Amino acid sequence: MNTALLAIIAANVIFSFRGFKDIAFFRKYEFHVGSIRAGDQIRMFSSAFLHADIAHLVFNMFTLFIFAPVVFSFLGTMSFVMIYIGSLIFGSLLSLYFHRNDYNYRAIGASGAVVGVLYSAILLYPDMTLYLFFAIPIPAYVFGIGYLLYSIYGMRSKSDNIGHTAHFGGAIGGYIITLTKQPEMLTDNTLMVVLLAIPIIILFVLEKAGKI
């Protein structure tokens, strides 16, 4: 296994298990808008290494384990780490922006960073086949677009406890950083770059129109 990937997974496991056992530790490092706006900025980063339970942790780390090799095979290990951390930060920043006036908003999990890696992998290899519900084969780019459209729906409906905003922010981070690493994609694969940008554009159009 790639050393950087192993280190990221290990950090998530160690930090999450500490949080499972120590509620004070969990509360100290979770994403909490009120605390962040009061100056506790470390939560923007530390919250991405906490998880609600083992199932949450396993799902995120399994997804990362599946898609990380696509990224470092195309871009190398250092770029993979940059995409992971950058997507984590993008996810937290977008969450803070959209929930800036909800001082009680809380969130945890590596999902923003993981979705950033996923979206990067899709941008790099859009024709790979993914399996919806582990059974229905679909092209990766269709999954990526559909997932972000679903995230927009989740952000608007606010009907669950999923951190859709962090997921979307992570995808934006993965998209932007990947293009800075592979700018030739803008000319070599323009259609795919444009298609994968559509949900991002829709989000900000809706936000500007006050519909999110």
Instruction: Flag whether pLDDT at 76 surpasses 80.
Output: yes
Q: Give the integer Cα–Cα distance in Å for 106 and 33.
A: 7
In this predicted structure, the answer to whether residue 134 has a pLDDT above a threshold of 90 is no
pLDDT at 133 over 90: no
Lowest mean pLDDT among 34-43, 102-111, 160-169, 193-202: 160-169
> Residue 191: what pLDDT?
92
Question: Does the pLDDT of residue 47 top 80, yes or no?
Answer: yes
User: What residues have CB less than 8 Å from 113, skipping those under 6 apart?
Assistant: 48, 64, 84, 85, 87, 88, 91, 170
Is the pLDDT at 154 greater than 90, yes or no?
A: no
